[in-house]
Amino acid sequence: MAEWFPVVSLTGPRQSGKSTLVKHAFPDYSYVTLEDPQIRRAALEDPVSFIRNRGDRLIIDEAQYAPSLFSMIQVVSDERGNPGQYVLTGSQNFLMMKSIGQSLAGRVGLLKLLPFSFLELKDWQGERADADEFIIKGGYPRLHATGMPPAVYFPSYIDTYIERDVAGLLDVRNKTAFHTMLAICAQCVSNLQNTSTLSKDVGVSAATIKSWLSVLESSYLVFTLQPYHSNGKKRLTKSPKLFFCDTGLLCYLLGIESVEQLVESPHFGAIFENLVVAETMKRHLNEGVRPELYFYRDDSKREIDLLDFTDASHPWAVEIKSSRTYHDKYARHLQTVCDEIGIGREGRCVVARVESSFETEACSVVAVQDWLGWR
């Protein structure tokens, strides 16, 4: 991206490794962070000098704190005309994209960095990497760098996130209600998003729930999987499904601290589905590609957990099952639905916790370790 655009933007949740990555990728660039109050004040009070007095190879961390910088970055980058002048990082996607849209449209390459994928950890840990353990711990770098227990890490992470991001963006006065909504979202993971039900359960208005969910999504704590829509006459659901970007945070919110608790949890199937969908999304994002992911559900109660149209020449239809044993019934909707929407036999699969991948007449059965480790 830095070879093509004058500005590169890297967004992602707090503590996903953005600063570490850009410093490693651009070791000869100057670095400033607007987390520093003095530097932020200088950027806000005199954005012209802030940009003019620095060179054209600059990393600005948490750039969303000084939106007035973006106009000056536009002016100076246009004057110089070179690619790779500025690298901007931010953990509040809503504010970053608002500033980029106003000042840097067409001049910036957009990238997202979520917490470690299973594939990244497997490259580091080798055969020690285990999918069930990864579900519980998740991918936040500090957990793996320090060996910190998730039960220690996530309470601090959530409190800090609410204090610094949510409260600032939405003026959330009832933090208890926000905590409650986050916990209820965990219980509803992999299900259709229902704003009205959340409103009743949390005790706030539907409009408030929508704004809170918007911030959770723009801060990369949750994401929605949109339903697939076709031009046919069959009625398809219109509500998206709700997922968490990191299964470690999800398991913490559900009180799951061990593999034994995980496999015995009534939420295990939903958590496993979350894992496969989130890791598929990460795979594409880490390649710099925008994911085109959907699920299928129609009025005949036919469902497919994941449709991946990111590579239009090789779409995938994926059923996701937490069972260690494959049953033919898992693929019962793959043939009929895929015939209708144009996904061939080579793109039909069931991802499960089987020992190894194999082929059946109807589809491929893919061991979750192979799906998560697929390059």
Interval 279-337: pLDDT, tens: 999 999 999 999 999 999 998 889 999 999 999 999 999 999 999 999 999 999 999 99
Long-range contacts of 208-213 (CB under 8 A, 24+ apart): 209/181, 211/170, 212/166, 212/170, 212/172, 212/178, 212/181, 213/185
Q: How far is residue 53's CA from residue 47's CA, in Å, rounded to a whole number?
A: 10
Interval 102-157: pLDDT, tens: 888 889 999 999 999 999 998 888 767 789 999 999 999 999 999 999 999 999 99
Q: Which residues contact 116 (CB under 8 A, 6 or more apart)?
A: 17, 139, 140, 141, 144
Domain covering 7-112 in this structure, CATH number: 3.40.50.300
Q: Where are the domains positioned within the chain?
A: 7-112, 118-372
Interval 220-256: pLDDT, tens: 999 999 999 875 556 678 899 999 999 999 999 999 9
175: confidence class by pLDDT, cuts 50, 70, 90: confident
Which of 197, 190, 198 is closest to 222 using CA atoms?
A: 190
Length, in residues, of the chain: 375
pLDDT given at position 233: 53
Q: Where are the alpha helices (DSSP H) in the chain?
A: 18-25, 37-45, 47-52, 69-80, 93-103, 118-125, 131-137, 141-146, 150-161, 167-170, 175-187, 195-202, 206-218, 247-253, 259-264, 268-286, 334-341, 368-372
* Ranges 31-45, 77-91, 155-169: which has the least confidence: 155-169
pLDDT surpassing 70 at residue 173 = no
Q: b or e along 64-84 (b: 16 or more beta carbons within 10 Å of the residue's beta carbon)?
A: bbbbebbbbbbebbeeeeeeb
pLDDT given at position 26: 97
Which amino acid, one-letter code, is at 292?
Answer: E
Interval 53-110: pLDDT, tens: 998 899 999 998 999 999 999 999 999 999 999 999 998 777 788 888 888 888 999 9
The whole-chain average pLDDT of the chain stands at 91
pLDDT given at position 211: 86
pLDDT given at position 105: 83
Beta bridge partners of 86: 7, 58
pLDDT given at position 43: 95
Across residues 356-368, what is the average pLDDT? 96
DSSP state of 189: T
Tokens of 281: 């999304």
pLDDT surpassing 90 at residue 272 = yes
Beta bridge partners of 110: 9
Instruction: Identify the residue with better confidence: 256 or 173.
Output: 256
pLDDT surpassing 70 at residue 194 = yes
Q: How far is residue 77's CA from residue 104's CA, in Å, rounded to a whole number?
A: 10
pLDDT surpassing 90 at residue 40 = yes
